[in-house]
Amino acid sequence: MCPHPGPTLIPPRGPHATGFSLANMAPPSDDDDSRFMRRALRLAERGRGRTHPNPMVGAVVARAGRVVGEGWHRAIGLDHAEVEALARAGARARGATMYVTLEPCAHTGRTPPCVEALERAGIARCVVALRDPHRIVNGRGIRSLRRAGIRVDVGVGADEARDLLGGYWLAHTRRRPRVTWKVAATLDGRIADRAGRSRWITGPEARAHGHRLRATADAVLIGSGTARADDPRLTARAVGAARQPLRVVCDSALELPLTLRLFGAALARGTVVACGPSAPLRRRRALEARGVTVWPLPLRAGRVSPAALARRLAREGRYEVLLEGGATLGTAWLRAGLVDRVALFTAPRLLGADGLAWCGALGVGSLRRARAGRIVQQRRLGADGFLLVDLAAREPGVGMGSAG
């Protein structure tokens, strides 16, 4: 976080400087800044799963230590958070401070530029958690605000805001989505019995949470092994999903049977098969005739390159990816440095070494070199446990190395 230089409140300049007195307003403190930004971050969270491809954003208008307006980006095409917060604040926005989790936009997209709305409302100071990495914003909003005489402080709550943006941040800074590997395992880390059966390891509460994770993902990713063994639908069910994630299957040589549910009339549209560049054209045509989209991509070690698929997903605006594949695909993505988080459901049951382990060899060798993570969520779901672990993923091509 970069601290803002001090608590002085700069009065508005230019056309908005009239009719407002600073005399009875206490200047905002660092505490106020953190408090109001935390509130803005919580508001932003309400848009989760509904704003795609826009980021989640929250905004608070505060004056004399009190909130006078707040808003969040509710859904694509609807008002941006800043505009909503200003509408709530009305005339009280004049001379007030706007707290916003992401740099306001300076361009006309589906809605008019937010910086103009801030200017018109007479906002005196704008506290921004993060500069928007999107190439059409990226500093322009901040510069426009400053040009309009609005004081801008950037960096309050930056880490939390980056975390909130997740895949949007990664897609615009590193051209790849955020990948969460979802695993449902027994206490001893087994995801299927010796015959490959995995239904059901966890109970209904855990499975319902799995559907909630799908509902907030932009894409769900599996390998051909899981497609064959489980014939899944990969839809978010019974959780009031605003939209369904894109369903993506990695099938390097297009060998999966066309009878899978993913390729049936109900699911073919919205399903993508990623394959190698020389997968049989005849198979490709058969899938496309059903409405399935085929992405021919480069291979790595004879299989769909994780890096190439990650780039393609980001380019398609799929910023949050839930990897629901088996150990083969998940381990390959982990080794490629492309798994950012693990969402681990643990059932209090034991299958022993006869069962299938959820993670393959990582080439780590010693405990000292083990990949370290940080638990960011833990809860109980019925009889099962749930952990969300942030792995602080590294760039593709970098080995497991020391995790620091």
Ligand X SMILES: NC(=O)c1ccc[n+]([C@@H]2O[C@H](COP(=O)([O-])OP(=O)(O)OC[C@H]3O[C@@H](n4cnc5c(N)ncnc54)[C@H](OP(=O)(O)O)[C@@H]3O)[C@@H](O)[C@H]2O)c1
Q: Which residues bind ligand X (CB under 6 A)?
A: 183-184, 191-192, 196, 198, 201, 222-226, 229-230, 250-253, 255, 303-304, 306, 324-329, 332, 356
Q: Which of 82, 119, 316, 320 is catalytic?
A: 82
Q: Which is nearer to ligand X, 112 or 385 (CB)?
A: 385
Q: Smallest Cα–Cα separation from 170: which of 139, 136, 133?
A: 133
CB of 209 vs ligand X, minimal distance in Å: 13
CB of 258 vs ligand X, minimal distance in Å: 15
Helix 81-89 and helix 30-45: axis angle, to 10°?
Answer: 120
Helix (H) or strand (E) holding 227: helix 224-230
Length of the chain: 404
Whose CB is nearest to ligand X?
225
Q: Which is nearer to ligand X, 222 or 272 (CB)?
A: 222
Q: Which is nearer to ligand X, 74 or 212 (CB)?
A: 212
Residue found under tokens 């954003």: 57
CB of 370 vs ligand X, minimal distance in Å: 21
Q: Which is nearer to ligand X, 40 or 248 (CB)?
A: 248
CB of 298 vs ligand X, minimal distance in Å: 11
Task: Judge whether 50 and 74 are in contact, CB under 8 Å.
Answer: yes
Tokens found for residue 159: 């880490």
CB of 305 vs ligand X, minimal distance in Å: 7
Q: Which is nearer to ligand X, 230 or 384 (CB)?
A: 230
Is 82 known to be catalytic? yes
SS3 for 239-301 is CCCCCCCEEEEECCCCCCCCCCHHHCCCCCCCEEEEECCCCCHHHHHHHHHHCCEEEECCEEC
What is the rounded end-to-end Cα distance, in angstroms, of the chain?
21
Active-site positions read 82
